[in-house]
Amino acid sequence: MKSFLLTTALFTTLPLLATDRVVEEFGQPPAYASITAAVSAAVDGDRIIIKNRAGNIPWIENISVAHSLEFLSYDNDDFFYVQGSYTITGATGRTVTIVSMYNTSGGITFTNGGTIRGTTVRVLDSHLVNGDITLGTDMFQAEIEGCTLENGAVDLNFGNVVGCDIDASQTSAPAIEVSTNNTSSPLDTCAIIGNKIKGIVSYEGIFVDTEAQVVHIRNNYIQHGWMGIQVYAGNTNGVQNLIWNNTITAYTGQFTTYGIDMANTNSGSVWEIMNNVITRTWSGTNRGVNNDSGNQGQINVYYNHVSNNVSTPIDAGFTFTANNTTNEAITLNTDGTFSSAPSCIDGGNPAPVFYDLDLSIGDAGAYGGSYTLDNFFPLHTGAARVYLTGHPFNVRTGATLRVKGMSYDR
């Protein structure tokens, strides 16, 4: 079950008749012999509690979900093993939560219904061996946290992707895509934070095209074959979009590769590109922070570190450019930590609000600052987790302290 922790606690009240519906192999009433049978009998607020079959042989079923339900393992701190597609039908006020699914072949997708952002889907601490999470519709708010996708991608219009390990190197899509220009709902934040991402040739590691949200792309380790991060549009309210502390490397390619590509940004949008590390092992033509066509927004580029083997490190024409380094070789270990990058250590913005957790000057890259990638890994720790907090970076006497946390407990 997932909860949002605020300065005052929020509680979700389930229907009085909500039921735990247990699924077990050869189940007899009151248990159910299949997930399909349990879902068919369920009403809003029920939990589908799944016992694993002998030897963790997956439950092989395609599941259609048309109620507010939670799916989780019968065994504490364990996965439930399935194979098949889970299709969620939208409806206003519907919430579907999936905790610790291990899906050997199949993904999570949708059927439209309801109103804009009327359906919430939470996929938490799950592992998809061969499948996508495809919730790219304005009708859905998607929360994807702490998940592993061995061969798949994440597509959403509204929501967050936090602390995931996504290998899309065999797919035909960006590893993470957020795309909507529907501005009829209140401006909200889209957090793409603390992910390990591997992309494919001709597609982006992270692609964002949204006018409807404030975008925070922070502390991701991205291996890509075309563009590490590409953004379009941006909110027109002047609220800063943050591209901070990412480590980006071109590990393969076919055409010119780009670490961060800014294109077609909206007038009135503001983009802060700070504390990123960009390098490459691919031998073709490559660019670091690229000023692509159609930009009308304010784009500030500072305290970034681009390896000296990148053909065009920092493009011309940005609104503000300062304190970037481009004269040093940067090499990475397999996990995105630095093998050799002296200027990146303590090389982020030196303001105290950007310090590392040890209170030293912040490092550039995914392991620097308060959202260091170490906060989000390893996955599936077998415990309750607060996976993201939002809070002011400095506290002043007399000011109200507002802290928002997002968590779940299996």
Domain boundaries, the chain: 1-147+379-410, 191-371
Q: Which residues of 32-54 are buried (b: 16+ CB within 10 A; e: fewer)?
A: bebbbebbeebebbbbbbbebbe
Q: How far apart are CA 394 and CA 355, in angstroms?
A: 11
Does this model's pTM top 0.75? My answer is yes
Strands (E) located in 17-163: 20-23, 47-50, 59-60, 63-65, 70-73, 80-83, 86-89, 95-99, 101-103, 108-111, 119-124, 127-128, 133-135, 140-145, 148-149, 154-156, 158-162
Cα–Cα distances (Å) from 133 to 62, 100, 124, 142, 148, in that order, read 15, 14, 12, 10, 11
Strands 385-390 and 404-408: antiparallel
Rounded Cα–Cα distance for residues 70 and 113 (Å)? 19
Residues of the chain with pLDDT below 50 are 1-14
Report the distance separating Cα 63 and Cα 356, nearest Å: 44
Stated as kind and residue range, the H or E segment containing 177 is strand 176-180
| The pLDDT of residue 16 | 54
- How far apart, in whole angstroms, are the C-alpha atoms of residue 134 and residue 97? 15
What's 42-56 look like in SS3?
CCCCCEEEECCCHHH
d(Cα 206, Cα 229) in Å, to the nearest integer? 5
pLDDT given at position 7 = 36
- Say how many Å lie between the first and final Cα of the chain, rounded: 6
Q: Which of 393, 402, 351 is nearest to 371 (CA)?
A: 393
- Return the pLDDT at 9: 39
pLDDT in tens, 88-131: 999 999 999 999 999 999 999 999 999 999 999 999 999 999 99
Q: Quick: pLDDT tens for 241-276.
A: 999 999 999 999 999 999 999 999 999 999 999 999
User: For the chain, how big is the Rg over CA atoms in Å?
Assistant: 22
Q: Please state, in angstroms and rounded to a whole number, the distance separating the CA atoms of residues 338 and 103.
A: 33
